[in-house]
């Protein structure tokens, strides 16, 4: 019996998503847990898996379309079932016929009745972006399914537009630049890059964080030699190297275990305290910053934590990170040390209660027993949401973090 597949609510708070891909064609059978659709959230692409064996009888929206959460996107049937009369089937299921603009391209342009023009297939989002940018759809090269124009095609066309020519006037048979009046506005020397959904989402979340979460900051300097020595000894035994950041993530989980009052998030009705140490790690991608969450960090050896961070970072950069990997956690670790940054303060990633900014390992003078000596140090800056966490609790956590780094065998305990 035919059933309707609705656009799932795969991201908290999302009201619409992009149906980015149909991996299976109509009339194709699938097995339970097979990917039958791919949708794009503001942060990642999410694969929609089949809950049971079946057949794709009819897709109701084209790849690249923006769809409201809960709207019908396909009709599914039992294994071997045929679609039959599509319009009658849609009527039986209480679904209106599909808007012609939402039909996928057949691969051959069709003439629009009475106009003599070939109908151009494009997603609603691509049409709006092209209109806003003053682009004609006829001039765009579609790279979506069957030549459909999608968002990336419009973005590519905008980026490829040549700069406007400098106006000239004829003088003595030769073109010369037109003089600009003194009060004329300066020539534009910039390129506008349209906001992606992810960039808009990141901007909105950061503004929300600074407006709603009262930040306060704690700073500490750690001796790094013991941590570097532990890393060297671990890597002598492992085929894949463990990074300094991997050990810092482990140390943060250990500090959560020692100061559980920091392992919290703020909600409208209560402070939620968690029993697992789930730590998010900031990953830079071409589209923006993502923060996949490593689960149960305190219970895993450094090699496992390191492997999971690498795997999630690769998925984030390739656009294959599932939404589930972005949910949860109470603290983010962000590290700019590899770029030589000594120290910085980061904005909290909501709904987390804190974010730890890690600088580079540096040689600096330190005072030991009244004498100055050279040492390798790391600067840490902890940004904290004052609603669920008081200053004393944050200071206790930072003290535990410093002790973990300077006595790193505790990381392995």
Helix-helix angle 244-258:302-318, to 10 degrees: 110
Q: 251, 297 in Cβ contact below 8 A?
A: no
| Structural domains of the chain in order of their starting residue, each with its CATH number | 3-102 (2.40.50.100), 124-160 (4.10.320.10), 214-412 (3.30.559.10)
User: What is the spatial distance between Cα 249 and Cα 302, in angstroms, rounded to a whole number?
Assistant: 9
Which one has a higher pLDDT value, 186 or 82?
82
Residue 209's pLDDT band (boundaries 50, 70, 90)? very high
CA 96 vs CA 27, 60, 78: distances in Å: 20, 10, 22
172 pLDDT above the threshold of 80: no
For 113-156, the DSSP string reads: TTT-PBPPPB-HHHHHHHHHHT--GGGS---SGGG-B-HHHHHH
Instruction: Give the pLDDT confidence of 323-375 residue by residue, as tens digits.
Output: 889 889 999 999 999 999 999 999 999 999 999 999 999 999 999 999 999 99
User: What is the spatial distance between Cα 391 and Cα 215, in angstroms, rounded to a whole number?
Assistant: 11
Please give the pLDDT value at position 12: 60
Please give the pLDDT value at position 91: 72
Residues in the chain: 413
User: What is the spatial distance between Cα 362 and Cα 379, in angstroms, rounded to a whole number?
Assistant: 9
Please give the pLDDT value at position 331: 97
Instruction: Give the pLDDT confidence of 35-74 residue by residue, as tens digits.
Output: 999 888 766 778 888 989 999 998 999 988 888 888 899 9
User: What is the spatial distance between Cα 359 and Cα 245, in angstroms, rounded to a whole number?
Assistant: 10
110 pLDDT above the threshold of 60: no
Residues annotated as part of the active site: 386
Please give the pLDDT value at position 164: 57
Burial class, 46, CB count within 10 angstroms (exposed 0-12 / middle 13-18 / buried 19+): buried
Token digits for 30? Answer: 């699938």
185 pLDDT above the threshold of 70: no
317 pLDDT above the threshold of 70: yes
Token digits for 280? Answer: 């998010």
Token digits for 97? Answer: 């016929």
100 pLDDT above the threshold of 90: no
For 365-407, the DSSP string reads: EEEETTEEEEEEEEEEEEEEETTT--HHHHHHHHHHHHHHHHS
Q: 31, 56 in Cβ contact below 8 A?
A: no
pTM for the structure as a whole:
0.65
User: What is the spatial distance between Cα 319 and Cα 85, in angstroms, rounded to a whole number?
Assistant: 38
User: What is the spatial distance between Cα 389 and Cα 395, in angstroms, rounded to a whole number?
Assistant: 10
Q: 334, 243 in Cβ contact below 8 A?
A: no
User: What is the spatial distance between Cα 213 and Cα 215, in angstroms, rounded to a whole number?
Assistant: 6
Please give the pLDDT value at position 224: 96
CA 157 vs CA 124, 131, 143, 188: distances in Å: 17, 12, 12, 19
Strongest mean pLDDT among 92-101, 186-195, 331-340: 331-340
Q: 397, 382 in Cβ contact below 8 A?
A: yes
Coil, strand or helix: which one is 40?
A: strand
Instruction: Give the pLDDT confidence of 130-155 residue by residue, as tens digits.
Output: 887 888 888 888 887 667 787 788 88
- Percent of the residues in the chain that have a pLDDT greater than 90, as a whole number: 49
Of the listed ranges 56-70, 102-116, 259-273, the one predicted with least confidence: 102-116
Please give the pLDDT value at position 105: 35
Please give the mean pLDDT across all residues of the chain.
84
Residue 111's pLDDT band (boundaries 50, 70, 90)? very low
Residue 166's pLDDT band (boundaries 50, 70, 90)? low
Please give the pLDDT value at position 195: 82
């Amino acid at each position: 019996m035919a059933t309707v597949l609705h656009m799932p609510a795969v991201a908290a708070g999302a009201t619409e998503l992009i149906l980015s891909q149909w991996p299976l064609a109509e009339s194709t059978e699938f097995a339970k847990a097979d990917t039958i659709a791919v949708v794009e959230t503001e942060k990642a692409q999410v694969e929609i898996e089949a809950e049971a064996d079946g057949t794709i009888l009819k897709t109701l929206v084209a790849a690249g379309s923006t769809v409201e959460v809960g709207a019908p996107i396909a009709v599914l049937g039992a294994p071997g079932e045929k679609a039959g009369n599509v319009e009658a089937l849609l009527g039986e299921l209480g679904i209106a016929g599909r808007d012609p603009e939402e039909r996928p391209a057949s691969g051959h342009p069709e003439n629009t009745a009475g106009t003599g023009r070939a109908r151009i297939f494009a997603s609603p989002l691509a049409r709006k972006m092209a209109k806003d940018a003053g682009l004609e759809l006829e001039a765009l090269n579609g790279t979506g399914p069957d030549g459909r124009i999608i968002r990336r095609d419009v973005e590519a066309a905008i980026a490829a537009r040549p700069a406007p020519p400098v106006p000239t006037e004829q003088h003595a048979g030769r073109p010369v630049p037109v003089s600009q009046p003194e009060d004329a506005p300066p020539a534009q020397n910039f390129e506008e890059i349209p906001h992606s959904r992810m960039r808009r989402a990141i901007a909105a979340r950061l503004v929300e964080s600074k407006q709603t979460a009262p930040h306060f900051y704690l700073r500490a300097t750690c001796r790094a030699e013991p941590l570097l020595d532990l890393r060297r000894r671990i890597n002598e035994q492992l085929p894949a190297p463990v990074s300094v950041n991997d050990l810092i993530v482990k140390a943060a989980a250990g500090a959560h275990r020692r100061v559980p009052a920091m392992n919290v998030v703020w909600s409208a009705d209560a402070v939620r305290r968690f029993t697992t140490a789930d730590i998010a790690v900031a990953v830079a991608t071409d589209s923006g910053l993502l923060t996949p969450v490593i689960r149960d960090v305190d219970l895993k050896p450094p090699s496992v934590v390191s492997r999971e961070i690498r795997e999630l970072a690769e998925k984030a950069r390739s656009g294959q990170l599932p939404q589930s990997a972005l949910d949860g956690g109470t603290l983010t670790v962000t590290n700019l040390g590899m770029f030589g940054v000594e120290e910085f303060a980061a904005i909290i990633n909501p709904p987390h209660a804190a974010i730890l900014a890690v600088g580079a390992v540096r040689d600096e003078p330190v005072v030991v027993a009244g004498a100055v000596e050279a040492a390798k140090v790391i600067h840490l800056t902890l940004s904290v949401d004052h609603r669920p966490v008081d200053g004393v609790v944050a200071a206790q956590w930072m003290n535990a973090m410093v002790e973990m780094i300077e006595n790193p065998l505790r990381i392995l305990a």
